[in-house]
Structure 1
C-alpha cells in the first residue's frame, strides 16, 4: 500500500492524498456550523466547553483506540484562482481519544482555551484538511465552497461531497456539487414586511417533490417537529415564518425567513413606523434557556442555581452563565425600510457592552462573515446601499445593535439612548474613523424591544468595510484596563515599537515628530484627540481606545467608540464642561480608572512636549472649535437626529410605560446642549495653559458663495465659514479652495485686522556673542548666519538669579569681563510691502540697542553716538527697560526681510544682558475700514481681530479645462510585483501610473480626479491637503499608486488597476458639475512587471516597456537599448546606444530628402536649416538618449537653431514638412 511520508507536506505543502489503511480517517467537516452542532457538556455547566457553534471536523477510527496527541493537522484554503494554498497547521497537544469504531469531533475556531478546540478556523471558500502522524500523511479531505446547514464528507461508497450533517453518526449520501442541494423555498404573493389585516402566507419550492416544513416561533424548521406545509398560512398578528425544503437524502435547502409585522400599540400612538426596523429571529431556547440562553440577566437563575444582585454591574459581569460574554447564537436579521424587507440574512448574535449588559434590552453584535457561507459573508441590501446615509457604499460583515451603553438605562430620567450616535455624528467633517449611526426600531421574535442604534462594529470588520482590508491584512488593537494594549486581531508589535521610540527619546529632539509620523497617522490622531477632549470623555484614554493599521508598514489610526460619558453624562466633576481634559489625558489630574497608569497616557504625554506636535494640535483644535464644534453646528446635528428619532423615542417610552415623555422634553437633551455652549471657553483656556499659547485674537472667515473651503495654516477648514480664534502673534495663513464653477478673486479684509505681528517673543533668532565682532555686513539680507547660535523669546542672562525667566540663556564664558556687544538677526517674509503703513516695536532691553532693517539703521536707544563700528557701547545702565517706537513707511522688500539688533552693555563687568522684541506691522486701509488683498494666500501675524471674506467669481469652465491641457497620462503598470524594485513609501509593490507635465508652467494636481473607469471619472479626488506633493514641474512627472488605499497618502488612488480585464487610467477636472477628461491612457493586457506608455512622452507613439533589448525607430530617431518601466522619469531607453540604424525596423522617416539642407555639421553654435522654397518646417531636437530638448517652427527659406545652449555631443533632428519627415544626426562641438 502506497504511503506519502514527506515531512515537507506538514510545513506548508498542499499536496494531499488519501490514506486507506485501517486507522483514523477524516469522515466529515463543517466550516459553516451556525446552528447544527453545539460544543456543550452535559446537564451541568462545563467551563471546558465553549457553548458555541464552531466549525468542526469529524474523525472516524476503524482501527484500535488511539490518542490524537502529537498528531498534526494542516489546513489549506482555496484562493481566488481555485488553487490550494497553505493557511495553518497545529499539533494536537491534548490527550483526545478516538475509540475503536467510534467518532470524535474537533472544533476549529481559534479558541484553544476550550477542550478539543484548534488554533485556527476552517475556510468556507473551500480548502483541505490533512491529518499527519509522525510526519506521515494519514488522511486528507479536500472540499469546495461551503454554505450553512450542510457539511462535506465521505459516504459509505467513499464518495466525497456535500451532505446533511451527521456529527458523531454515520454519514448519509454525498453529492459532488452544492447545486444538487434542494432549492430554497420562496414566499408567493404576500411578502414579509409591515402588513395589516389577515394575510395568507404562501410558500413554494422549485425542487419538484420536495416537502416544505415551517415554524412560526423563530425556531429552525425540522422534519421531526415542525409543521408540514399543505397550504396558505393565515396570519393576523406579528409572526416570524421560517421554512425549509427536504427531499429524500439530498442536502436540505437553505432556510427561508420572513417577519410579517403588524403595527403595535406603541407605534400607533406615536405616529407609526418612522425609522427602519431591525427584526431579529431565533429559537427561544437561545434567548433565556437556563443552560444556553445568552440573554439571561443577573436577576434570573442560571442552571447552577446562583443568583446575583443587580446593584453592582461589575460584580454581575462574568458570573451569569460564566461564558455568556463570548457566546454566539444563530439568528436571522431582517432590515425593513418603508414597510418592505430590504435585507434578510442569517447571522450570529452575541451580547455586547460592559455595565449596559444589565439593562433590560442588551446590545447585540450581529455577524455574518464566512461562518454563514462562502457567498453570504456580507449583509446584502436589495437597493445596493448600506443602512448608513453617510457611508452608503460600504459593505458590512457585521453590525452593532446598541442600547445606548451607559446612557441606555430607560429607568434613569434624562438619559438619552442615542447620545453616542449624536456625538460621533459631529466627527463627519473631521479626519477621524468613527462609527456610522442609524436610529432603528428593534424587534426580537416579533416583539418590540425599543429604540436602538444600528452601528458599525469597531473590529477588523470595520477596517474591511471602510478600507477594503481583510482581517489577515490588519492589526486591530484595544486597551484592556487591567493588562494594557492588546490585539483583537494581529499583534501589538508595531505599537510596541512606537511606544519604545516615544519613551526612549527626547520629544524636543530633531526628527522626533517625523519618526513618530512613520508609525501613526498623526493628522488623524490629533483630530481624534481633539474630539475626545471636546466632549470630555473620561471613560477614555486607558479605556475605550481602539486602533488599527495595515500590516504592510501601515500607520496606526484610532477608532472612536463608546463615548457615552461625553457631553456631561453625569453631573459630577469628571464629566462637567469645565474639566481640564488635557491634564486628565496625561494623568496629571482627576485620577480614575481610565488614566491611572503610565501606559494609558504615555503617548499623548510625550507627544505634547514636541513643538511640531503642539503647534499642529493647537492649529487644528482652533479650526474645529471655530467650525465643527460651534454651538450652532452642534445644535443643527442634534436637531437632525432628534427629528428622525422623535416618534420612535415616543414608542420606546410607551413600551416602558413612560407615557407622554418626548425626546425634546428629556432633561438630558438640555444638559447636552448646555454643555455644547459652555465647553468651548474652557477648552480654549485649558489649551492656552497646557500648550503655553501666548494668547488669542478673534478671527472671522466667510465666503460670498456656498461650498467654499479653506486651508488655515495648511490644515483643512471643511466649511465655508469660521468664527473663533487664532493665536496672537503667530503666523496666520489662509488659502481659499474655490467651489465647483468658481475661481478666487480677492480677499475683503476688515479695518480692525490692520495690525499684524511679524516678530514675536516666540520668533526664532540667530545670535553672535563673542568678544570680537562678526565680519562683513552682518545686518544685511544676504549675510550667512548659519554658524550663529539659535535663540528665541527673552534672550540673555542675569547672573544674580541664575537667568531665571530667560527663554534663551546666552553663554558669556568664564571671564569676569564679558563681551560688550551681542548681534541678533531674525528673518520675516512680506507678500505686499506697499500695503505696510508702519512698523511698531516693543523692545525689552538691557543696556542699549541699535535696530537695523535690511542692513540700514532705523532706530537706536541708550547708545553712545561717538563710537564707531565694533566699538559701540551703551550710554548708561538699563535694567530690563522697555522701549516702544514706530517706523513710518519702512523700506521693506517683497519676500525675505531681515531685522537685526546690536545689543550693547555699558560695561564688560555688567551682570545682565536682555533682549526681547515684538514687531507689529500696520497695513493701509481704505476709508470704509476695509481693504482688498488679491493675493491667493492671505498671510499675517495678527495682534488684533482679523475678519476675512473670500470673494469668488464665476469661471469659464473651458478655460479651467484648458489650463490643465499640458498634463498627460504618460505610463501605466498594472502588474507590478515583488520582483521589481519599484515600491511606494511603505515598501509595497503596488500597481502605478504616471502623469507628465508637457507645459512650461508648474501645475498642481490637487482637486483633480483620477479613475480607472471612463463612466466614473470622479472616482478618486487628488487631495487638497498636500500641495507640495501634488505639484508637477514643467517637463516633470508625478507617480500615483493604484492600491485603493488613499489613507496611505496623497499619491495613492482610490482604485486598483486590472490586468486581467484592462481598461485605462483617466485624469479629469470638474467644473460646473461636469467632469471632463484631461488625459487618458488605455492599456492592453501586459506581462508581469511590464509598463505601457508613450516613448519619449510623444503622444502618438505607445509602446510596452518590457525590460528587454529593443531596436526601434522612435519619433523619427533610430535607437537601440533596453526598454524598461521608468516611473518618475522620461520614458526613454534605459541604456540607449545611439544611431544603430542597421538594428532598426523599417523607418518612417527618410535619412535624406531633396530640398532641405542642415549646415554646418559639426557646428559650434548656429545650425542653419534651409529649404529650396518657402515651406513650414517643424524642427525637433533630441539628445543622445532620445529626450526632446527643443521644438521650433521655421516659416522662411532659411531658419536657425542655436546649438550653443547644449553640451558637446551627438543630437538628432526630426524635420517635419507637409510632405515628409526627415531625420538628421548633428554633432555639437
Structure 2
C-alpha cells in the first residue's frame, strides 16, 4: 500500500478481465487475441505481493528491521473507512502484510457510531470445521435454477467429506470432471446447512476460512456474501476463475456481516470455478466461525485509533446505526450534498451537454424521496429550486445509501434526469439542500476546481470534504494521495482562479498550490507579491502528471502564483493567504 493505492491480486485480475472482454472481440477480427498475454499477467499477480514485500525488506534505505505481519482489516458496515498510518485504504478493507510500527484508524460513515475493534478469532466460536460434510453437484450447469434457495431440492445431489475435488493431495471425496480430460466442467456446486441457537448481534462478524483451487462465490441464505479469484459482475456456469493456483490451493479468509445469518437453520452455498477446461485439478474445503448471542461489547479496543497488535491479525471495525437523537446532535441529515461538479468537462447528460451537477446521498437505511425538497446555491434564497419530477417519470427516490444526480444547468427536467433552475459558480460557492418543511438544511461549500475534478465528501455522507482527482458521478466517492481536504469554516487560501494553458493547470486549495500537466516533466513556480515583486522561486517535478507546493509559510496577504513548464507554457493565479 502506497499513497492511498493498494495492490490486490484479485482486484488487478478483475481489471485485466474487463480489458480483455472489450479488446478480445475487436482483436479477433484481425485474427489476434489478448488472452495469452492476459493470463501471463494475471498469473504473475499471485507472487507479486511476496516479491514486493521481500524487495521492501531488502531495500536498505527503508530501514525495515522487523518481520512483516499478515493483516486482515475490514468493517461490518458498508462505506466505512480504514486508515493505515494516516493513509486511507481506498477499498475499505486490507488483506496483506504490514511492517511495524502501524497505527490503525476507523472512520465511521454517515449515520453510524464506532463501537470498537473486534478480533475475528478471539471472540468467535467454530460453527463447522475443515473436513466437514457437504452436499455437492458435479454433473454440469445449474444456471437458471434457484440452487442457493433453502427450498431447493438436492435429492439428485451427492454428499461427501471435504476436501472435495480431484487430482490433488489430501482429497477426501473425489468429484467428477466429466467425460473428457480436455473439456472438464467449469463449475461445481456445494451446499451445507447449519443451526444457530441464537440470533447474531447486529455487529457480529462471521469468518469463512477457505482452501480452494481455483476460485469461488459464496452465498449465505441465498444472498451473495463474497467471492475470491473471480471476475466482477454476473457469474455463470461457464465463467472461469480469474487465475489459477499452483501446486497448492489458495488459502485465506472472508468476513461476513452478522445480518446475513439468523436464528435457527442457515444455508451456505458455494460454487467453485476452475481456471480452464484443461485444468489438472480442483479443490475445496472451508470452515466457518462466528460470534453468537447478543452484543456484549467484546472488543480488543474501543478507541477508533489504535496500534496494530503483534502477530497475525484479523480485525473488524464495528459500528452501529445512530439513533434519531444522535443523528440530530451530529448534524447528520437523511440526505446530504455528497459531490459537486461546477466545471464539469467529463460527464454528459441526456441533452449531450457537459453541464454542472450535484450528487445527493441517502445516509439512511430507508428509501428517501426528495420530491418537494429545496436545492439552492444562495443561502439567502433557500427555496430557489423546488425539486420536482414535474410531469415526467424522472426518479426522485433514493435507495438506502444510494445516490441521485441533479444537473444544475437551467434545462428542462426529462424522464431521464432532474434539472435545477440555476447554474453553479465555477470559482467556488455553496450548495444547500433543505427538507420540504425546511426543518433541516445540509450544505457543502466548494472551492474552485477545474473540469477534471469535483468537490465531495469522503466517505460518502461524511464530514470530511476534499477536492477529488477522480470524479465519480452516481458512484462511491474516491480519494487519493493528491486529493486536498477543504476546511468548510475557513478555506485558508481563497482560490480565485484555476488557470490552464495547453495542458498545464494551476490551482490553489487551502495552503497548497496544485500543479497538473499532461506532458511536462518539470516546472518553475514564482511567487510574486501584490506589487509584482518576486518573493520566491520553487522547482516542481511532475509525478504522474502532478506536483504540489505548500504556501503555508507565506505571511498573510495577496500574491500571484506563476508556473512555467519545460515546454514553455505559463499559467498564473491569484492567491490570498490569511
Whether the TM-score (by the shorter chain) exceeds 0.5 is: no
More helix by share: 1
Give the structure-2-normalised TM-score: 0.29
Give the structure-1-normalised TM-score: 0.14
More strand by share: 2
Larger Rg: 1
Report 1 or 2 for greater relative contact order, CA contacts < 8 Å, sequence distance ≥ 6.
Answer: 2
